[in-house]
Amino acid sequence: MKYIFLPILIFISCQEEHSVFPKTPNVLFILVDDLGLHDLSGTGSTFYETPNVDQIAKEGMVFTQGYAASRVCSPSRASIMTGKFTARHGITDWIGARSGTDWRANKRYDKLLPASYLHALPKNDVTLAEAFKGAGYKTFFAGKWHLGSEGSYPENHGFDINVGGWHKGSPMGGYFSPWENPKLPNRAEGENLSLRLAKETSDFIKKYKDSTFFAFLSFYAVHGPIQTSQQKWQKYRDKADSMGLAEKGYEMERILPIRTVQDNPIYAGLVEAMDDAVGIVLKSLKEAGIEDNTIVVFTSDNGGVASGDSFSTSNLPLRGGKGYQWEGGIREPYFIKVPWLKNGGSTSDYPVTGTDFYPTLLDLAGIGLRPGQHVDGVSLKPILVGEKLEKQRPLYWHYPHYGNQGGNPSSIIREGKWKLIHYWEDDSDELYDVSIDIGEQKNLIGQQPETAKRLRRKLLQWLYDVGANVPEPDPKYDSLLSAQRQHMIIEEKWPELEAQRLQMFSLDFEPNVDWWGSRTTKD
């Protein structure tokens, strides 16, 4: 994996770290929706531009093997909040997805009926926000929640202030005001949603700069429907043209076409707007004089959308994307900046996941850990201060569902260099050595049968121990209808996507008369 953050600095000693440790540091947690590992200029993209996010990585530590806890949003977010893997907390799909016999209403004609799952964050869990609030922190949430409906909103799970968080997982009404969000009143026609959330967060920071706070900025970006302004589209349309347009932008994965190039000017503009918003919040920390006393986390909830939804980006050399069982669906940007550690530009290749934020942040803030709660997370503080975590615990993922993006119902274990994927449709497995095959092209199930058997037993036993729900065969499965649907995808959907991609580069491209509301009558 290639990272370009330089220079790599030598860690300071633990003694120096303790001598400057602030008694009550603030925490700013930035979560982006659907952002892929390579959707940042600092992680290898030559198309997208993200100087503000890159700065967080340059001033903190980059975990080069950072994972989301799920390939889709709600389960991953629940794992951040609870410190538990998805099969344990019970939210295994995005909240609102059909399961059981209701799945047939999607006209998918699949072999299995997806497993049932919880539709709200469990009330008996002590969330990360509740842990900080219990330690005297002022807690703030802005943006996407998607962890339950009325009664299970941010304010019901430890956040003193909630701006924009409700049950919807996409930006209803779009990225430009007027939007449809009862938790975020419209103020100015054409206002950008990402910038508005950043301004709300900045206002909170300025108001509570003299106290101690835990602020969680959860962007709706870069979730579809992807939208941008005409100016940003023009910038990236011209950039893509100057770089040379690929003749084709997609290839077929197992079920859906998947994007193979990063050249979508609309998505690039959406990414840049998110980065602009990050810059606003970082500037507010500096202006408030608390930059050196604030831990900053930056990550995403699942891989970039390469298939399904808006077919926005490419995650290559990682295989797949959001909704997929391969690395492109779960590998993420994972940055932690702890100003007093002075370890900017450093990296760690220890495999980490979304469950680790809970104990890590408590540990860094000097708050007592809750091992009975964040049972699937480990504190990364030893790594951040220059020590080692010798033992690499197994990581587990459980997604007994069909996604909108082409992934299959499956469960995963990663232990050391090995990653085993168990498929629920046919009881088959795939085994990859991700230390040398990050693109998961060589299934080693035949060459390493004993390793595969051991990992399969361990995975299935763990799922049994935590009471994981699994999918069941659909007795009404129709192989003919399934084949017809697949034929339509190849013969109609794929060519349609290629045509849409080229249309975005047309000089007279115009999605609608006001560019999704970004161009108002005042412009």
Sheet holding 395-399, edge to edge: 395-399, 410-415, 418-423, 429-433
DSSP-assigned states of every residue in 414-472: EETTEEEEEETTT--EEEEETTT-TT-----TTT-HHHHHHHHHHHHHHHHHTT----E
Question: Residue 392 — very low, low, confident or very high, per pLDDT cuts 50/70/90?
Answer: confident
Q: Whose CA is closest to 92, among 112, 107, 67, 71?
A: 71
**Cα-based torsion angle of the residue sequence 360, 45, 221, 240 in order, rounded to the nearest 10 degrees:** 180
Average pLDDT over residues 391-418: 95
DSSP-assigned states of every residue in 125-136: S--HHHHHHHTT
User: 334: helix, coil or strand?
Assistant: strand
CA distance 22 to 19: 9
**pLDDT reading at 7 higher than 80:** no
378 strand-pairing partners: none
pLDDT at residue 109, rounded to an integer = 92
**For 426-465, b where at least 16 C-beta lie within 10 A, e where not — what string?**
eeebbbbbbeebbbbeebbbeebeebbeebbeebeebbee
Cβ of 19: how many Cβ atoms within 10 Å?
10
**pLDDT reading at 417 higher than 50:** yes
pLDDT at residue 425, rounded to an integer = 97
Least confident of 18-27, 109-118, 140-149, 191-200: 18-27
Where is pLDDT greater, at 7 or 455? 455
**pLDDT reading at 144 higher than 50:** yes
- Read off the tokens for 213: 């706070």
Residues sharing a CB contact under 8 Å with residue 430, sequence separation 6 or more, in sequence order: 420, 421, 423, 440, 443, 445
Question: Residue 390 — very low, low, confident or very high, per pLDDT cuts 50/70/90?
Answer: confident
**pLDDT reading at 336 higher than 70:** yes
Question: Residue 23 — very low, low, confident or very high, per pLDDT cuts 50/70/90?
Answer: confident
pLDDT at residue 521, rounded to an integer = 45
pLDDT at residue 6, rounded to an integer = 38
**pLDDT reading at 158 higher than 70:** yes
pLDDT at residue 113, rounded to an integer = 97
Quick one: how far is CA 332 from the chain centroid?
7
Percent of the chain exceeding pLDDT 90 equals 93
Residue pointed to by tokens 């049972």: 375
162 strand-pairing partners: 141
Average pLDDT over residues 20-30: 86
pLDDT digits (tens, 9 = 90+) for 50-74: 999 999 999 999 999 999 999 999 9
Residue pointed to by tokens 């202030």: 161
Question: Residue 87 — very low, low, confident or very high, per pLDDT cuts 50/70/90?
Answer: very high
CA distance 197 to 47: 25
Average pLDDT over residues 296-310: 97
Phi and psi dihedrals of 467, rounded to 5? 70, 40
pLDDT at residue 15, rounded to an integer = 37
Strand ranges inside 6-101, DSSP E: 26-32, 61-63, 66-67
pLDDT at residue 409, rounded to an integer = 98
pLDDT at residue 11, rounded to an integer = 37
pLDDT at residue 16, rounded to an integer = 43
Cβ of 423: how many Cβ atoms within 10 Å?
14
- Quick one: DSSP state of residue 93? S
CA 130-35-128 angle, to 5 degrees, is: 10
Side-chain-side CA neighbours of residue 115 (13 Å) = 22
Question: Residue 20 — very low, low, confident or very high, per pLDDT cuts 50/70/90?
Answer: low
Average pLDDT taken over every residue of the chain? 94
Q: Per this entry, what is the length of the chain? A: 523
Average pLDDT over residues 494-510: 96
User: 180: helix, coil or strand?
Assistant: coil
**pLDDT reading at 5 higher than 50:** no
- Taking the CA atoms of 284, 288, 289 and 290 in sequence, report the sign of the dihedral they define: negative
Q: Whose CA is closest to 408, among 480, 471, 452, 451?
A: 471
User: First CA to last CA across the chain, in angstroms?
Assistant: 44
Residue 342: what residue type? K
pLDDT digits (tens, 9 = 90+) for 456-470: 999 999 999 999 999
Give the residue extent of every domain in the chain. 26-392+479-503
pLDDT at residue 486, rounded to an integer = 95
User: 360: helix, coil or strand?
Assistant: helix
Q: Specify the pairing of strand 294-300 against strand 112-113.
A: unpaired
pLDDT digits (tens, 9 = 90+) for 122-138: 999 999 999 999 999 99
Note whether 221 and 270 are within 8 A (CB). Answer: yes
CA distance 518 to 190: 5
CATH code for the structural domain at 26-392+479-503: 3.40.720.10
